[in-house]
Amino acid sequence: MTLRDLAARHGLSLGAALTERGLAVPRYRELAATEFSSVTPENAMKWDHLERDRHTRTWARADAIARFAAQHGQELRGHPLVWHDQLPHWLTEGHFTPAELATLLRTHVTTLTRRYAGTVTAWDVVNEPIEDDGSPRRTLWHEALGPDYIAHALTWAHATDPAARLYVNEFNALAEGPKAKGLHDLAASLLDRSIPLHGVGFQCHLLLGQEVPGLARTLNRFADLGLEVAVTELSVRMLPPVTPAKLAAQAATYRAVVEECLAVPACTGLTVWGIGDADSWVPQGSRSRYGTPTLYDDAYRPKPAREAMARALGAAVVTACGRQVRALPIRGRADAPAEYPAVSR
Ligand code: XIL
């Protein structure tokens, strides 16, 4: 069975981050279509990709990925609307006033949410808003708009596309600690103020040997707020040389993450960051010593990690006497309000 079908029996959507370059490779396309029920554009919806030159938006790459998802009956996770990274130079070096930056951000958020309304099912509205010590990350958005830039962005997105599920997405927040606490405090305070936040996404870029004990506990703490949660970016990188023992350890980590997510009813999705090792982001930039982080090898052959994920997704629906039972798709927010009150700002 495909990973996608196995995950569906748990009501879990299983995603992959895709690039338009990858989609030109037949085997990549095939795996992206058959193994996954959700798609995240790895870069195509980032501001520097969409509007490298001011006033000229290039939609072709993002649209191609959106079209691919629609053709294959997949959910589309929009990523990201507000981030401090991968911004166009004209923006970061433009010396704009705070009021101008607020207008630029609002236009960006509403333009994207309007274009993909009805197509994008969930948006990472704000990416990486918390520092390691739990305080708000000092980004140009924070400097210009103050800490309320997050509330503003969620409110703008919800006003344009009320059907989309709106997420804050963060890294290094898998275990208890100042960062996870800062993220939890942020989510709680947004909900207290009736700001439309539906979920929290957890990036999960792991190093071989890094364990995820307590991930389910962390996810549950956010679920207790009434939020859905998702593992939005899973990868497990390693140093060369690649050995069977390392691949087995990697497989165990993939399996553990799946099990932690499955243990939490509010965990609605799990997305792997890349299809095969050949096209992964890991060997780029500061992680260049590392590699081999995905489910498929350089030739798109399944690695032990792929089989471990399949087993983790399969095992939980087999009863003691060996009969398969269909898990009810009960994943989602525990107490989703029917409608958020309109917030005018
Ligand atoms: C990465 C992409 O995978 C790379 O291709 C790009 O060069 C840099 O960004 N957290 C995120 C993702 O939220 O958007 C990042 O994606 C990986 C870390």
Expressed in angstroms and rounded, the spacing between residue 180 Cα and the centre of ligand 1 is 20
pLDDT of 285-305, one tens digit each? 777 899 999 999 999 999 999
* pLDDT for 242 beyond 50: yes
Nearest Cα to 182, choosing from 233, 232, 221, 215?
221
Ligand 1 atom with the shortest distance to the CA of 79: 14
* pLDDT for 322 beyond 90: no
Cβ-proximal residues to 235 (8 Å cutoff; 6+ apart), any chain:
204, 205, 206, 272, 273, 274, 280, 281, 282, 293, 294
CA neighbours within 13 Å on the CB side: how many for 48?
Answer: 12
Mutate to test the pocket of ligand 1, among 167, 273, 290 (most ligand atoms within 8 A of CB): 273
Out of 28-32, 280-284, 298-302, 306-310, which region has the weakest mean confidence (pLDDT)? 280-284
In a domain, 148, yes or no: yes
Tokens of residue 272, six digits: 């792997």
232 lines ligand 1 (CB under 6 A): no
CA distance 229 to 89: 33
pTM recorded for the entire structure: 0.93
Q: DSSP 3-state assignment of 130?
A: strand
Task: Assign 283 a pLDDT band (cuts: 50, 70, 90).
Answer: confident
Amino acid 315: pLDDT: 72
* Residue 179 CB neighbour total at 10 angstroms: 20
In a domain, 334, yes or no: no
Average pLDDT, the chain: 93
CATH code, domain carrying 122? 3.20.20.80
- Which one-letter amino acid corresponds to residue 319? T
Amino acid 341: pLDDT: 47
Task: Assign 325 a pLDDT band (cuts: 50, 70, 90).
Answer: very low
Ligand 1 atom with the shortest distance to the CA of 124: 13
- First-to-last C-alpha distance (Å) of the chain: 49
CA distance 18 to 32: 8
Out of 145-149, 199-203, 253-257, 321-325, which region has the weakest mean confidence (pLDDT)? 321-325
In a domain, 342, yes or no: no
Q: Whose CA is nearest to atom 10 of ligand 1?
A: 203
Percent pLDDT > 90 in the chain is: 88
Amino acid 248: pLDDT: 98
pLDDT of 115-133, one tens digit each? 999 999 999 999 999 999 9
Task: Assign 330 a pLDDT band (cuts: 50, 70, 90).
Answer: low
In a domain, 247, yes or no: yes
In a domain, 191, yes or no: yes
Mean pLDDT on 195-213: 97
Expressed in angstroms and rounded, the spacing between residue 45 Cα and the centre of ligand 1 is 11
* Distance set, CA 299 to CA 122, 295, 306 (Å): 31, 11, 14
Nearest Cα to 308, choosing from 256, 232, 244?
256
Amino acid 82: pLDDT: 99
What's the 3-state SS for 11-66?
CCEEEEEECCCHHHCHHHHHHHHHHCCEEEECCCCCHHHHCCECCECCCHHHHHHH
Amino acid 344: pLDDT: 35
Q: Per this entry, what is the length of the chain?
A: 345
pLDDT of 153-192, one tens digit each? 999 999 999 999 999 999 999 999 999 999 999 999 999 9
Question: How many distinct structural domains can be found in the chain?
Answer: 1
Mean pLDDT on 206-218: 96
Mutate to test the pocket of ligand 1, among 19, 40, 43, 61 (most ligand atoms within 8 A of CB): 43
Mean pLDDT on 100-104: 98
Amino acid 139: pLDDT: 97
284 lines ligand 1 (CB under 6 A): yes
Residue numbers of the domain that contains 18: 3-326
Please list the active-site residues: 128, 233
281 lines ligand 1 (CB under 6 A): yes
CA distance 58 to 47: 10
Mean pLDDT on 198-220: 97
Amino acid 112: pLDDT: 98
43 lines ligand 1 (CB under 6 A): yes
Do 81 and 153 contact (CB within 8 A), yes or no? yes
* pLDDT for 66 beyond 80: yes
In a domain, 55, yes or no: yes
In a domain, 345, yes or no: no
Amino acid 295: pLDDT: 98
In a domain, 11, yes or no: yes
Task: Assign 70 a pLDDT band (cuts: 50, 70, 90).
Answer: very high
